[in-house]
């Protein structure tokens, strides 16, 4: 089990998630970094020994252009970036797929929340390569979170099965209603189901992770890693802590 720190970007700053209610997000206060500038937070993560970070570009998810200059800053801090910039189609992902800084490309997160449908997921895999693409099974209070009617009528396990059949090899399981709430991930039963579907799938849990006990629960459910934000910034999980 490894910890993947999270950077939620909004209006050029790192913000703290609050149950997916983005209008309530405010700049983080952190025991790790002196301010909420993305470069400051990224340098703190790199200094703590992290080599990758999940970046939720919330402005891009809302329809704005991706934060290219910030991506460059983060890469130059020494981190590999997993970027969710609100990709809906394969065509929309072309710029992300082509982007690199100092010869280092992005890992692209395709979130259920914005993705147009299974066909677009397959197109993304063909464009980026399945090892570079990470499918995010976005939930809200346990239910799949999507805007495209192409996913309608499918529960979370069925969507995961469709994604696996398309070629997905890396999957985030994230309940946005739990982000920043300190209530635990709550997705352990689903993660167990996904592990039963595939021994080879890389599963990353997240949302509400608050302690080492939560990391242990996700590991026991078959997760390979966990997304963590608030608990790192508050010091409830030490930056050097691993299972």
Which pLDDT value is given to residue 242? 59
Which pLDDT value is given to residue 65? 93
Which pLDDT value is given to residue 219? 96
- Mean pLDDT for 167-181 is 88
Which residues on neighbouring strands pair with residue 202, listed in sequence order?
Answer: 170
Q: Is the dihedral of CA 56, 177, 234, 50 positive or negative?
A: negative
Higher pLDDT, 182 or 243: 182
CB 214 within 8 A of CB 3: no
CATH number of the domain encompassing residue 26:
3.20.20.70
The answer to whether residue 150 is domain-embedded is yes
Predicted TM-score of the model (pTM): 0.92
Q: How far is CA 20 from the centre of its chain?
A: 13
Q: Is the pLDDT of residue 143 over 70?
A: yes
Total structural domains within the chain: 1
The answer to whether residue 70 is domain-embedded is yes
Angle separating helix axes 68-76 and 38-47, nearest 10 degrees = 20
* Residue keyed to tokens 């025991």: 31
> How far, CA to CA in Å, does 60 sit from each of 24, 49, 93?
17, 28, 12
**Percent of the chain clearing pLDDT 70 (strictly above):** 94
With b for 16 or more beta-carbon neighbours within 10 A and e for fewer, the 162-177 pattern comes to: bbbebebbbbbbbbbb
Average pLDDT, the chain: 91
Distance CA 191, CA 160 (A): 10
The answer to whether residue 240 is domain-embedded is no
Which pLDDT value is given to residue 90? 80
Tens of pLDDT, residues 58-108: 999 989 999 999 999 999 999 999 999 999 888 778 999 999 999 999 999
Q: Which domain holds residue 65?
A: 2-234
The answer to whether residue 241 is domain-embedded is no
């Amino acid at each position: 089990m490894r910890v993947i720190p999270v950077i939620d970007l909004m209006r050029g700053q790192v913000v703290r998630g609050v149950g997916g209610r983005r209008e309530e997000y405010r700049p983080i206060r952190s025991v790790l970094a002196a301010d909420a500038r993305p470069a400051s937070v990224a340098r703190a993560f790199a200094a703590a020994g992290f080599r990758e970070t999940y970046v939720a570009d919330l402005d891009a998810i809302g329809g704005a252009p991706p934060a290219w200059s910030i991506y460059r800053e983060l890469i130059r801090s020494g981190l590999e970036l997993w970027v969710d910039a609100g990709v809906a189609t394969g065509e929309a992902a072309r710029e992300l797929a082509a982007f690199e800084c100092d010869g280092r490309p992005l890992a692209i997160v395709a979130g259920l929340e914005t993705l147009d449908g299974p066909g677009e997921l397959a197109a993304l895999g063909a464009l980026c390569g399945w090892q570079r693409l990470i499918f995010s099974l976005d939930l809200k209070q346990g239910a799949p979170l999507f805007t495209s009617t192409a996913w309608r009528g499918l529960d979370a396990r069925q969507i995961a099965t469709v994604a696996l059949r398309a070629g997905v090899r890396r999957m985030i399981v994230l309940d946005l209603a739990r982000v920043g709430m300190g209530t635990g991930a709550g997705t352990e039963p689903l993660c167990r189901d996904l592990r039963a579907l595939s021994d080879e799938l890389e599963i990353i849990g997240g949302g509400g992770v608050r302690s080492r006990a939560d990391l242990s629960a996700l590991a026991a459910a078959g997760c390979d890693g966990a997304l963590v934000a608030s608990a790192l910034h508050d010091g409830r999980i030490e930056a050097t802590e691993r299972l």
